[in-house]
Homo-oligomer: A and B are copies of this chain.
Amino acid sequence: MIPEIKLPTLLVDEQKCRQNIAQMVQKATDNQVIIRPHFKTHQAHGIGRWFREAGVEHITTSSFRMASYFAADGWKDITVAFPVNILEVERINTLARKVQLNICLENLSTLAFLEENLSTKVGVFVEINAGNNRSGLHLDHLPLIHQLVERITQSKKMQFLGFLGHAGQSYQARSHETILKAHQYSLQLMSQLRSKFQEKHPDLMISLGDTPTCSIADQFPGVDEIRPGNFVYYDVTQSYIGSCSTEQIAVAMACPVVAKYPERNEIIVYGGGVHFSKDRVQRRDGTTIFGLLADWTEKAWSVIPDSDTYVSGLSQEHGKIHTTQERIAATKIGDLLLIVPVHSCMTADLMKSVRTLDGQIIEMMRY
A residues near B, CB below 8 A? 5-7, 40, 62-63, 65, 82-88, 106-107, 109-110, 113, 133-135, 140, 168, 256, 258-260, 263-264, 268, 270, 273-274, 277-279, 313, 315-318, 320, 332-334, 345-346, 349-350, 352, 366-367
* Residue in chain B with minimal CB distance to A263: B140
A134 x B88 contact (CB < 8 A): no
| In-complex Cβ contact of A109 among B106, B333, B367 (8 A) | B333
CA–CA, A147 to B84, complex, Å? Answer: 62
**A258 touching B316 by the CB < 8 A rule?**
no
Q: Which residues of B contact A274 (CB under 8 A)?
A: 346, 349
Minimum C-beta distance from A237 to chain B (A) = 12
The answer to whether B318 touches A82, judged by C-beta atoms less than 8 angstroms apart, is yes
User: A90 to nearest B CB, angstroms?
Assistant: 8
The 30 sampled A-B contact pairs (Cβ below 8 Å) are A6-B85, A7-B65, A7-B87, A62-B316, A63-B270, A82-B258, A82-B270, A82-B318, A83-B258, A83-B268, A85-B256, A85-B334, A86-B256, A86-B333, A86-B334, A109-B332, A109-B334, A110-B258, A113-B334, A133-B264, A134-B315, A135-B258, A168-B315, A273-B279, A274-B346, A277-B277, A278-B346, A316-B346, A350-B350, A352-B367
Looking at A40, A86, A113, which has the most chain B CB atoms within 10 Å of its CB?
Answer: A86
Extra 15 A-B pairs, beta carbons < 8 Å, given A7-B87, A62-B316, A352-B367: A6-B85, A40-B317, A63-B270, A63-B317, A83-B258, A83-B259, A107-B260, A109-B333, A135-B258, A135-B318, A273-B279, A278-B278, A278-B279, A316-B346, A350-B350
A5 touches B87 (CB 8 A): yes
